[in-house]
Amino acid sequence: MLRENLSPQIMHKERHSLWLNAFFLLTLQSAHAAGEDRTAWASACGCAARLTNRLTAQQLDTERAVNHYSDAINQQLQLIAAALAGDRDLQRLVIPLITSSGAALEACHVAIKTRLEKQREATSKTHKAISALSTLSYLTTYEPKITLKQTTDANLQNVQITAENHVKTAEKESCQEATAEADLTHNEETEKTEKEPVITATHRDVIATCSQDGGSTACGANQLANGGIITLQLKAANKLTTVGRGSNKFSSTNKEEKIVVSSALHSDAATVKEAHDALRKLATEASLAACDSLPKDFATHSGSTDFKLAAHKALLADYTKEKLTSGDESTLKEQLKQAYGNQNSDFSKVFWNKLEEIKVPQQVEGREKEIELKKQTTMSQTSDAITRLLLRKLQAAAETSQKNQASNKGKQEDPAEKTAEKEVTDKAAPTNCSSHTTSETCTKGQNCKWENNACKDSTFLVRKFL
């Protein structure tokens, strides 16, 4: 099955399984590393292999932390989704965990950021050192050899010249360090005790040998024309040899190697030391311990003062509290034990496993369905669930607002209420007709009538005509 055809759930389980296996192997390796021979390699090729493996091990640590951080973010989102989907009792348990999870995420983010800055520096310096060591390894491994052989003709232009290029036997054995390096364990703990590399082959000599027949017979009194042979060969050395110039002659009684030229190689010892120091600092000054825990681990929350304060507010309904007293913490301790348990195993059984069974909305095959929270294995899935939960709340608020508006509008247009209001107004109109100055206000008054540009009591007018 192609990887791209795997479901997100399967991919998440696969990745989780891989990291568990990696953690198990690292645990075994850490125990094994204690008994390993950690002697620094002396050859350029062995040193290059050691630097490469040290850098790779630390890069893997960073990669694990980044993946851990991604899982932690998704668990934080699951808490938010649970708070939105659950009832009030569940919200009281979830809300305190959100603040401490956020603080843990921030601490991990800062640790990764610091780590990446130092890792970039260590990577650059290590690659530079490896490049220099590769060149040095080539120069100290291959020993070109030139043979000058005179035949019966005494003329130098007829000297037979042959050349060969072979690997020095000792260097072959030395470069086996690179093979042995593959069997060593590298992790944060071994890095703290890593010794500074010391390269032994730092010079190169030109060696001249004279023999009569290419065998063990020295030149002696034989002339080159009689089959004498001179060889010139480059060889690695660990020190500079002073050449005696004019007195540096071949022996007449035995075959002898004479150093005719000795020179230092550019070993880049400073570059190698910079790489070593940068890798040590990466392990000791850029710890990723802040990324060890997850929101589903109770240890992430139990030591957080923010968690305790939020838990006090939520569990004891003391919402205005901003600082806990010793008495508050004593009371809270029992509340926390009842709500979450006191160990990671309790926390998983009492709370987290149940939280993951909560169903939240998710789009499946073009339709919205209710899916268990534990199946929201990616940040995009959990974020989508949160979005859908918030949209539901937004929809419910809009429907409630529309109902309230319709109810208020009906009350304002009720004719019975208008008639009642008019009767109240009429009854409340003043009985002193002379107080009205206009015909409009006069006619609203009780027993008032507008006559001759004045408001008069109509009962008086009636009595007048009786």
300 Cβ partners below 8 Å, 6+ apart? 100, 101, 104, 293, 294
At 254 the pLDDT is: 60
384 Cβ partners below 8 Å, 6+ apart? 362, 363
In angstroms, how far is the first alpha carbon of the chain from the final one? 114
Residue 348 clears pLDDT 90, i.e. is over it: no
Please give the helix or strand (H or E) that residue 372 lies within, else none: strand 367-372
Print the SS3 string covering 172-230. Answer: HHHCHHHHHHCCCCCCHHHHHCCCCCCCCCCEEEEEEEEECCCCCCECCCCCHHHCCEE
Please give the helix or strand (H or E) that residue 370 lies within, else none: strand 367-372
Are 310 and 83 a contacting pair, CB within 8 Å?
A: no
Are 131 and 298 a contacting pair, CB within 8 Å?
A: no
Summarize pLDDT for 88-113 with one digit per residue, the tens. Answer: 999 999 999 999 999 999 999 999 99
Please provide residue 257's backbone torsions phi and psi, each rounded to the nearest 5 degrees: -85, 130
Summarize pLDDT for 233-284 with one digit per residue, the tens. Answer: 888 887 888 776 555 566 666 667 788 888 888 768 889 999 999 999 999 9
Please provide residue 344's backbone torsions phi and psi, each rounded to the nearest 5 degrees: -60, -40
Paired tokens of 351 = 């709370």
N residues, the chain = 466
Residue 33 clears pLDDT 50, i.e. is over it: no
Question: Scanning the structure block, which residue is given the tokens 């139990």?
Answer: 302
The domain locations on the chain are: 7-128+278-382, 425-465
Q: Alpha helices of 219-358 — where are they, by DSSP H?
A: 269-285, 299-302, 305-316, 326-340, 344-347, 353-355
| pTM (2 d.p.) | 0.68
Q: What span, in angstroms and rounded, lies between the C-alpha atoms of 263 and 25? A: 47
The one-character DSSP state at 295 is: T
At 95 the pLDDT is: 93
